[in-house]
Amino acid sequence: MAAQRTVHVRIEGSVQGVGYRAFAQWNAAELDLNGWVRNRCDGSVEAVFQGPAEIVEIMLQRCRKGPPDAVVTCVDIIGEGVGVLSGFEVRPTA
């Protein structure tokens, strides 16, 4: 069984109003990751991704690029090891 990894990330740049949450949800589903994504009131996007370590790394690489209309300036890992998650959801803005 592959080592599991959970990351809590903050994505900055022009990442709201460009389909970033849908992009994250679609990619997480494609990669079979658990977690969630939401916009933040400060203009950033926050997300948690959980799954095999190598697949989480692929997701982080995709987040650094973002959807076509996004301009990602930073993807910071702000935490690791956030419990056990099931499925992937888009959460309300916080």
Pairing of strands 71-80, 88-90: unpaired
Asked if residue 93 belongs to a domain, the reply is no
Asked if residue 91 belongs to a domain, the reply is no
Judge whether 21 counts as a catalytic residue. yes
The total number of structural domains in the chain stands at: 1
Asked if residue 49 belongs to a domain, the reply is yes
Asked if residue 88 belongs to a domain, the reply is no
- Whether the CB-CB separation of 50 and 34 falls below 8 Å is answered with yes
Judge whether 62 counts as a catalytic residue. no
The answer for residues whose C-beta is within 8 angstroms of residue 2's C-beta and 6 or more apart is: 52, 53, 54, 55
First to last CA, the chain: 35
Instruction: List the domain range (segments joined by +) for residue 46.
Output: 4-82
Asked if residue 87 belongs to a domain, the reply is no
Q: What is the CATH number of the domain that holds 18?
A: 3.30.70.100
pLDDT for res 93 = 94
pLDDT for res 84 = 83
pLDDT for res 82 = 63
Among the listed residues 39, 40, 64, 91, the single catalytic one is: 39
Mean pLDDT, each 10-residue run in order, the chain (94 residues): 90 98 98 98 98 97 98 97 87 93
Asked if residue 56 belongs to a domain, the reply is yes
pLDDT for res 4 = 92
Asked if residue 15 belongs to a domain, the reply is yes
Query: Measured between alpha carbons, how far is residue 44 from residues 2, 10, 56, 70 in Å?
Result: 31, 7, 20, 11
Among the listed residues 21, 62, 64, 91, the single catalytic one is: 21
Asked if residue 73 belongs to a domain, the reply is yes
Helical spans, DSSP H, in 1-94: 20-31, 53-65
Q: How much is the pTM?
A: 0.93
